[in-house]
Amino acid sequence: MGRLSRDARLETRDARARLKIQHEPYWRQITPGLFLGYRKGSRGGVWMVRKTEDGQKIKRTLGAADDHQDANDVDVLNYKQAHRKAIEFAESKIEVRRQDRYTIAQAMVDYMAWLSVHGKSAAQTRPTVDAHILPAFGDMNLCDLSTEKLILWQKQLVEQPIRRRGKLLPVDPDDAEALRKRKASANRIMTVLKAALNHAWKNGKVESKDAWERVKPFRAVDIPKQRYLSELECSRLLNACGPDFRELVRGALLTGCRYGELTRLRVEDFVVDAGAVLVREAKSGKSRHVPLTDEGRTCFARWAAGKLRGEFIFTRADGGPWGKDHQARRMAEACANAKIEPAVSFHDLRNTYGSLLAMRGVPLQVIAAALGHADTRMTERHYAHLRDSYVAQTIRANLPSFGADLENVVPFATA
């Protein structure tokens, strides 16, 4: 094994923390033609290896960097461990020269490693990969993947039995709603596969992405969830909550924040001068400021009063933090007591926030910014239809009267 190639930029966590986030890895040459790379993302980085053989560059992800967790020499590596694995990769007797030796299973491993450090939820994606993608394509070489194979698989996803509580239930071909749901599910599974394949293409594992780009999703099958509360239902729900949970529910209605975003808010995240709360860690991996109304300012000032900057704004009655699933039972009980049927989830409070703004004519760009959507596509999908009520109300309130008295209308006489 070769000597350790020293690199002050990459050897320690503190040094890597000072590097700028960029797509192209920071490369360190180990031997001629062999490089160890560190690609930094918004929540950490991954180690990569690059080897040049016969004029061809071969890249491989080695594992996550130990930026925020201790190295285990398996999937989380420090600099020395990554250096050793890069040399082992180069010296391996496994044939790696041909692109067609790169399997879809390897592509999924590399993609999941990337997901784990880029603010995405690898845990939510893993079941889809294990249940649908690997059984169908795991051993297939990426260069052997064709449009025809993908279209056939897409069709099989729709026709395969539904797994429910350990039982396989056949899909009724005459049930239009069941078929719509199966097609929508197939679209979501295909999205995961395409994301992994695009990641492999960006890393030079395959020359073209035409095979999967030609496969189009099923259209008009993904109906957006439209459950939201009216203002009266919001009042009933708040009155039905216990004191500690009521503060959390009110915070959701005032900000549109997700449960996890709210429970992570600390006193220092309430920006008094700007009248906003700072969401430091959103689902997208980006932070955002959520503006508050006068009521919101008053509430957050009261909730933050007497607490230190690093303390949580929202806590349970016993002073402890809200856990991952503490809201589910409390929400169901509050809906039952408030006679809200069907019951809503805590996430529906976020839908309520967006819906009430849309019905009052707030531009979708503004709603998207407050909710943390990357663009207006998701916002339009969920809330654009609600603008119709605002349009109708505005026309009825502003169109002048033309003096018509319908009770005294005399039909026009014809000769």
Q: Tell whether the model's pLDDT for residue 389 goes beyond 70.
A: no
Q: How confident is the model at residue 409 (pLDDT cuts 50, 70, 90)?
A: low
CA distance 151 to 211: 10
The residues, any chain, with a CB within 8 Å of residue 38's CB and separated by 6 or more, are 10, 16, 19, 25, 26, 28, 45, 46, 47, 48, 65, 82
- Residue-averaged pLDDT of the chain: 86
Sign of the Cα pseudo-torsion (108, 112, 113, 115, in order): positive
Q: Tell whether the model's pLDDT for residue 415 goes beyond 60.
A: no
Q: How confident is the model at residue 15 (pLDDT cuts 50, 70, 90)?
A: very high
Mean pLDDT of 194-213: 89
- Looking at the chain, the whole-number percentage of residues with pLDDT higher than 90 is 50
Contact 180, 198 (CB under 8 A): no
Strand order in the sheet with 270-271: 270-271, 276-279, 288-291
Mean pLDDT of 230-235: 94
Q: How confident is the model at residue 94 (pLDDT cuts 50, 70, 90)?
A: very low
Query: Which 8-state DSSP code applies to residue 130?
Result: I
Amino acid at 377: R
Mean pLDDT of 131-144: 89
Mean pLDDT of 312-326: 93
CA distance 159 to 82: 44
Higher-pLDDT residue of 283 and 324 is 324
Q: How confident is the model at residue 241 (pLDDT cuts 50, 70, 90)?
A: very high
For the stretch 20-73, pLDDT in tens is 988 788 999 998 889 999 999 877 899 999 887 766 677 888 889 999 888 998
Higher-pLDDT residue of 166 and 87 is 87
Q: Tell whether the model's pLDDT for residue 121 goes beyond 80.
A: no
- Tell me the CA distances in angstroms from 286 to 21, 44, 280, 292, 397, one per residue in order: 13, 13, 7, 19, 40
CA distance 9 to 290: 36
- Looking at the chain, the whole-number percentage of residues with pLDDT higher than 70 is 89
What per-residue confidence (pLDDT) applies to 36?
A: 94
Q: Is 313 exposed, middle or buried (0-12, 13-18, 19+ CB in 10 A)?
A: buried
Q: Tell whether the model's pLDDT for residue 412 goes beyond 60.
A: no
Higher-pLDDT residue of 149 and 412 is 149
**Tokens 């004519």 appear where?**
361
What per-residue confidence (pLDDT) applies to 403?
A: 64
What per-residue confidence (pLDDT) applies to 100?
A: 45
What per-residue confidence (pLDDT) applies to 411?
A: 60
Phi (first) and psi of residue 195, to 5 degrees: -60, -40
Q: Is 293 exposed, middle or buried (0-12, 13-18, 19+ CB in 10 A)?
A: exposed
Q: Tell whether the model's pLDDT for residue 142 goes beyond 80.
A: yes
The residues, any chain, with a CB within 8 Å of residue 318's CB and separated by 6 or more, are none
Q: Smallest Cα–Cα separation from 52: which of 15, 82, 96, 19?
A: 96
Other C-beta atoms closer than 10 Å to the C-beta of 116 total 21
Domains and CATH numbers, the chain: 1-97 (3.30.160.390), 117-223 (1.10.150), 231-397 (1.10.443.10)
pTM passes above 0.75: no
What per-residue confidence (pLDDT) applies to 144?
A: 86
Considering only CA atoms, give the Rg of the chain: 27
Residue 7 CA from chain centroid, whole number: 35
Q: Tell whether the model's pLDDT for residue 2 goes beyond 70.
A: no
Q: Tell whether the model's pLDDT for residue 95 goes beyond 50.
A: no
DSSP per residue, 23-65: SS-EEEEEETTEEEEEEEETTEEEEEEEEEETTEEEEEEEEEE
CA distance 289 to 174: 48
Mean pLDDT of 176-189: 90
Contact 67, 13 (CB under 8 A): yes
